[in-house]
Amino acid sequence: MAERITVIDTHTGGEPTRVIVAGGPELGSGTMAQRLAVFHERFDRYRSAVVNEPRGSDVMVGAILLPPQNAERAAGVIFFNNVGYLGMCGHGAIGVAVALDHLGKIGSGVHRLETPVGEVTIELEGKNTVAIENVVSYRIAKDVAVDVPGLRAYKGDIAWGGNWFFLVHDHGETLAADNIERLTDVSWRIRQTLEARGITGEGGALIDHIELFGPSGQGASGKSFVLCPGRAYDRSPCGTGTSAKLACLAADGALREGEIWRQESIIGSVFEGTVRLLNGGRVAPRIRGTAYVCGESTLIIDPADPFAWGIRS
Ligand code: PYC
């Protein structure tokens, strides 16, 4: 018999989030980190069915809504993409907030979500405007040199914003929408070299997001190109990437508490970020963006369909 999965599609600054609201796998009652492990080990085909072709694409990020451990929280959520799972996802959390409002499950005001890397706050400020307070973010290394074969030497900062990022400023590339193929190639080769050289996040964690920075053409504080783990670029300014950037700015003394940093994406969408300064050079980042519901549908997984569980490369 065919399986049916109900989803709501949203996009946040152009970056899609497909939210599973019913019909997803049964992941138990553990923490979101424990449920992520169950998802990965026993039900990974659902991840592929929801975000990969023929129903999705490399750029699609998925989110599964789950009963929270703490009944006072709005929901638990696990984010995933074309190649695996994300600790947190900023644009995705903004999309989830708008989807929860669309479902009538939350109203305006402050709510909390449980994620595999900790709780985050979502504040629904209007029908489409959401501010999230992300997990505590921090930089662990500044100006790490990496010599990329066939390209050149780069220096980047390693920072956590809910995922691990390598943030590069002096790259010599043009941050423009008509240069995305080149930006993808450069970022991917930087990522591969980091991995080959054993340059990691804390505890040997893979650095799977690369951010190239440059000046904004539309009056924002800066512009970025963000390459995600599955080689798709983020259409939004990337919530966890902006959090990592805010942590670096604060560590350099270049951002005061409450000062607004406007981060422009490679397609021109903008997030506003601020920080609360914490002990040990860490920050609590707050990211504001807008998301829209753009679809409501039922995915059908027909066992007779040879690509029922998605095209997995
Ligand atoms: O907004 O944090 C984010 C994100 C991560 C990957 C894609 N978007």
Residue 171 in this model has a pLDDT that exceeds 70: yes
Q: Would you say residue 214 lies in a domain?
A: yes
Residue 89 in this model has a pLDDT that exceeds 80: yes
The reply to whether 238 belongs to the active site is yes
Q: Would you say residue 255 lies in a domain?
A: yes
The mean per-residue pLDDT over the stretch 25-42 comes to: 98
User: Which pLDDT belongs to residue 142?
Assistant: 98
Residues 215 and 263 in one domain: yes
CA 155 to chain centre: 23
Residues 8 and 46 in one domain: yes
Could you tell me if 286 and 295 are in contact, meaning their C-beta atoms sit under 8 angstroms apart? no
Residues 206 and 262 in one domain: yes
Residues 128 and 60 in one domain: yes
Ligand 1, residues at Cβ distance < 6 Å: 15, 61, 86, 89-91, 228, 234, 236, 238-240
Closest protein CA for atom 5 of ligand 1:
89
Q: Would you say residue 177 lies in a domain?
A: yes
Using the atom order of ligand 1, give the atom closest to the CA of residue 238: 1
Q: Enter the tokens of residue 72.
A: 């006072």
Q: Would you say residue 312 lies in a domain?
A: no
User: Which pLDDT belongs to residue 298?
Assistant: 98
The mean per-residue pLDDT over the stretch 28-51 comes to: 98
Share of residues in the chain with pLDDT > 70 (%): 100
Residues 156 and 76 in one domain: no
Closest alpha carbon to 111 in 129, 92, 132, 90: 132
Number of domains within the chain: 2
Could you report the per-residue pLDDT of 100-131, keeping only the tens digit for each?
Answer: 999 999 999 999 999 999 999 999 999 999 99
In the DSSP assignment, the letter for residue 178 is: G
The mean per-residue pLDDT over the stretch 279-303 comes to: 98
User: Which pLDDT belongs to residue 10?
Assistant: 98
User: Which pLDDT belongs to residue 312?
Assistant: 82
Closest protein CA for atom 8 of ligand 1:
238
Residues 237 and 189 in one domain: yes
Question: Measured in angstroms, how far is the CA atom of residue 149 from the centroid of ligand 1?
Answer: 28
Could you tell me if 187 and 159 are in contact, meaning their C-beta atoms sit under 8 angstroms apart? no
C-alpha 252/C-alpha 113 separation (Å) is 30
* CATH of residue 253: 3.10.310.10
C-alpha 77/C-alpha 124 separation (Å) is 17
Q: Would you say residue 204 lies in a domain?
A: yes
Closest alpha carbon to 238 in 41, 18, 88, 45: 88
Using the atom order of ligand 1, give the atom closest to the CA of residue 241: 2
State the residue range of the domain holding 115. 3-134+293-301
Residue 182 in this model has a pLDDT that exceeds 80: yes
Residue 98 in this model has a pLDDT that exceeds 90: yes
Three-state SS across 234-290? CCCCCHHHHHHHHHHHHHCCCCCCCCCEEEECCCCCEEEEEEEECHHHCEEEEEEEE
Could you tell me if 55 and 20 are in contact, meaning their C-beta atoms sit under 8 angstroms apart? no
Could you report the per-residue pLDDT of 226-245, keeping only the tens digit for each?
Answer: 999 999 999 999 999 999 99
Whole-angstrom CA distances from 89 to 115, 131, 133, 237 are 9, 13, 12, 11
Closest alpha carbon to 98 in 132, 149, 141, 148: 132
Q: Would you say residue 308 lies in a domain?
A: no
Ligand 1, residues 167, 240, 265: which to mutate, most atoms within 8 A of Cβ? 240
Report the DSSP beta bridge partners of residue 19: 8, 63
| Local confidence band at 313 (pLDDT 50, 70, 90 cut-offs) | low
Could you report the per-residue pLDDT of 250-267, keeping only the tens digit for each?
Answer: 999 999 999 999 999 999
Whole-angstrom CA distances from 162 to 79, 90, 96, 130, 207 are 11, 8, 16, 18, 12
Residues 147 and 195 in one domain: yes
Q: Would you say residue 205 lies in a domain?
A: yes
Determine the Cα angle at 42 with ends 40 and 43, to 5°.
70
Residue 136 in this model has a pLDDT that exceeds 90: yes
The mean per-residue pLDDT over the stretch 83-91 comes to: 97
Marked catalytic residue, from 89, 228, 248, 294 = 89
Marked catalytic residue, from 228, 238, 248, 294 = 238
